[in-house]
Amino acid sequence: MAKLRRWVVKAGSKMVCDGGPLLMRAWMQQVALLRKKHGIEVIWVTSGAIAWAVSRTNFKKPKRSLPQKQALSAIGQPLVMDQYNLALQASSLLGSQVLLTAGDMKNATRRKNLQNTLNELLLWKVIPILNENDAVATEEIRFGDNDSLASKVAIMMKAERLVLMTDVDGLYDSDPNKNPKAHLISYCPRISKAEYALADRKAVSKVGTGGMYSKLLAADNAHQHGIVTHLVRGDLPSNLIQIAKGEVIGTQVGGRYGSKK
């Protein structure tokens, strides 16, 4: 039996919340096809717990204390997993929930236990769905955002590719919201100062903590370990299958441009 290739795919809060159950189902259909048709197993990283909780409660304050964030995360995480489980079941897949803090990866024993668990789940053809454990995480033990988490997991699990799904098409040479002539950068051999200069370090999503700058940091970190990263729009039909076929979408960082491997 040929050895399976391994990807880490991360879905941002805005995609999870705006796309909802239908988009989640489309994602999981692709995950099933990636394994069946392309020999690719997937570790999934998701955001959206706090945003989902805000949408289901009366808590609308933009500024939140740490206990409030933790409480919202505790409410939202099972809501998000409910939707993922429905999407998984529609494709005859089984999922698992794995909640992490940065401390789980910094501690050698816990890191090894995490690797063993994820490897065993993949061996059983179960889709690991990871998220930061915001219900207990503090500033000292946070990843910062799930782009960073996904990059670190990809490195730890020796993934071939990291796919960061967002609400834009990829990295542009200027802000497409301000410049209608902005061009999508389809390929970067690596992340340099020039690419970092194109992203607003302070920009964040209204419902998430990451922005393009955090994705470039994650891509840069992955590239240093030989992992190809794709920055793609999350609601594009068959985006993951297109990448598996070597089709050019979004922004590719590292690797051979348009290569399937």
Mean pLDDT, contiguous 10-residue spans, the chain (261 residues): 86 90 96 96 94 86 84 92 96 96 89 96 97 73 80 96 94 84 92 87 51 92 96 94 94 84 68
Say what the pLDDT of residue 177 is: 78
Any idea what the CATH number is for the domain that residue 191 is in? 3.40.1160.10
Q: Is residue 159 part of a domain?
A: yes
Q: What is the pLDDT of residue 208?
A: 43
pLDDT, tens digit, for every residue of 2-29? 678 999 999 998 899 899 999 999 999 9
**Cα of 57 vs its chain's centroid, Å:** 25
Nearest to 151 by CA among 226, 64, 76: 226
On whether residue 258 sits in a domain, the answer given is no
pLDDT of residue 134: 77
What CA–CA distance (Å, rounded) separates 116 from 134? 23
Expressed as residue numbers, the domain containing 227 is 5-253
**Cα dihedral 19, 21, 22, 23 sign:** positive
Instruction: List the one residue out of 133, 148, 166 whose CA is nearest residue 219.
Output: 148
- Whether residue 11 is contained in a domain is answered as yes
209 close to 144: Cβ distance less than 8 angstroms: yes
* Entry pTM: 0.92
What is the predicted pLDDT for the residue at 152?
Answer: 95
Going by C-alpha positions, the residue among 62, 55, 102 that lies closest to residue 80 is 55
Write phi, then psi, for 36 (nearest 5 degrees): -70, -45
Write the DSSP symbol of residue 184: B
When divided into structural domains, the chain yields a total of 1
185, part of any domain: yes
pLDDT at 119: 97
Q: Contact, 80 vs 125, CB < 8 A?
A: no
Amino acid at 14: K
Residue 259 placed within a domain: no
Residue 260 covered by a domain: no
pLDDT at 144: 72
Q: From edge to edge, which strands make up the β-sheet containing 187-188? A: 94-100, 126-132, 40-46, 5-11, 161-166, 228-233, 251-253, 187-188
Instruction: Classify residue 209: in a domain, yes or no.
Output: yes
